[in-house]
């Protein structure tokens, strides 16, 4: 069996376990992780995705559900999430126009991630409240 390396990754031997090889991921895996994190990071993106995880919301409903977010920032973050395929925007041809936002299937797949983050935050609430 030939050992192959990608970038600065060390070779993986035939006797190495999957967990050991994942400890030093390929440069493609690292780039993929960084791309995913860029899509999700931002002051309000997590909160927007969390709220939309509860169901479809109109712009005003979404804005009222996130204290402190400005209309401009919500618009910017929603556009970015839509461009990345995480939020679907539906415009209804009514007067006045009605616009609704919902999660795409890709974003719904993040539900398990958000549940784990919530469980982690509950488990470490005392430490997190000291650093907040």
pLDDT at residue number 32: 81
pLDDT at residue number 71: 95
pLDDT at residue number 88: 97
CATH of domain 44-131: 1.10.10.10
The 10s digit of each residue's pLDDT in 72-118 is 999 999 999 999 999 999 999 999 889 999 999 999 998 888 889 88
Could you give the CA distance from residue 108 to residue 105 in angstroms, rounded to a whole number?
5
Could you give the CA distance from residue 123 to residue 119 in angstroms, rounded to a whole number?
6
The mean predicted confidence, pLDDT, of the chain is 82
pLDDT at residue number 2: 45
pLDDT, mean of residues 36-53: 87
pLDDT, mean of residues 5-29: 55
Could you give the CA distance from residue 112 to residue 127 in angstroms, rounded to a whole number?
23
* Cα separations in angstroms, 93 against 19, 64, 82: 52, 23, 20
- pTM across the whole model: 0.70
For helices 111-123 and 45-52, the axis angle rounded to 10 degrees is: 110
């Amino acid at each position: 069996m030939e050992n192959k390396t990608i970038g600065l990754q060390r070779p993986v031997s035939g006797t190495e376990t999957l967990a050991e090889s994942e400890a030093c991921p390929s440069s493609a895996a690292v780039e993929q992780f960084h791309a995913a994190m860029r899509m999700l990071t931002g002051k309000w993106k997590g909160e927007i995705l969390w709220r939309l995880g509860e169901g479809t919301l109109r712009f005003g409903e979404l804005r009222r559900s996130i204290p402190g977010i400005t209309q401009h920032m919500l618009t910017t973050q929603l556009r970015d999430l839509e461009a990345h395929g995480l939020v679907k925007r539906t415009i209804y041809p009514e007067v006045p126009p009605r616009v609704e936002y919902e999660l795409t299937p890709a974003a719904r797949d993040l539900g398990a991630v958000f549940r784990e983050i919530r469980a982690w935050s509950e488990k470490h609430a005392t430490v997190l409240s000291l650093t907040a």
